[in-house]
Amino acid sequence: MADEDNHKSKVHPEMLVGVSAVIIGICALGVSLYETSLMREEQRAAVMPLLELSRSYNLQTDDTSTEKSRLWLQARNVGIGPARVANFQVTVDGKPQPTWDAAMRERIIIEFDRLDFEACFCSIFDECWTTSYSAFGATNQVESCQRLDSSFTE
């Protein structure tokens, strides 16, 4: 009987190998999950768009001494990945304008500071941001981009 008790209290090599294999497997799984999350972060960063909004105004005189005003609003993607623009708004004094005609009716060429425009754009991973001309390149992450009734239509 004493021999059986002594036999039960011994650590069997097979048991030690089995427990070690389980511990190593759990550690390998943890490392694998961590590496996968790092790879996903790298993939997002590798295709992150960045929309830059700018505007300029130019007054030109032609051969007949006629002055022509030219207004340029520009949106370009300076990021790494493609940008999917889902919503675009042009505002005058904070009020959305549906068309260029509506925006230009308010003497915007003379009072250029009243004009602003905003874009909501998403990456291929459906991560979305908004930016506006008045934000000077700063972006705000948003849940999603939705086209609004007050969105610009041209």
pLDDT attached to residue 128: 92
**Residues present in the chain in total:** 154
Residues whose CB falls within 8 Å of the CB of residue 64, separated by 6 or more in sequence, listed in order: none
pTM value? 0.64
pLDDT of residue 4: 57
Instruction: Looking at the structure, tell me whether residues 86 and 39 fall in a common domain.
Output: no
Q: Report which of 75, 81, 92, 82 is spatially closest to residue 131, judged by C-alpha positions.
A: 75
Q: What is residue 3's predicted lDDT score, i.e. its pLDDT?
A: 56
- Bridge partners (DSSP) of residue 87 are 120
Give how many domains the chain has, as a whole number.
Answer: 2
Segments forming the whole domain that contains residue 42: 2-46
pLDDT given for residue 53 in this prediction: 86
State both tokens at 146.
Answer: 């939705």
Q: Are residues 32 and 56 in the same domain?
A: no
Among 46, 67, 82, identify where a domain stops: 46
Question: Is the residue at 154 inside a domain?
Answer: no
pLDDT at 111: 74
- Residues 68 and 99 occupy one common structural domain: yes
Return the closest-CA partner of residue 103 out of 125, 79, 65, 73. Answer: 73
pLDDT tens track, the chain, 154 positions: 555 555 566 778 888 888 889 999 999 999 999 998 888 888 777 788 888 888 877 777 777 777 777 777 788 888 888 888 888 888 888 899 888 888 877 777 677 778 888 999 999 888 999 999 888 878 899 999 988 888 888 7
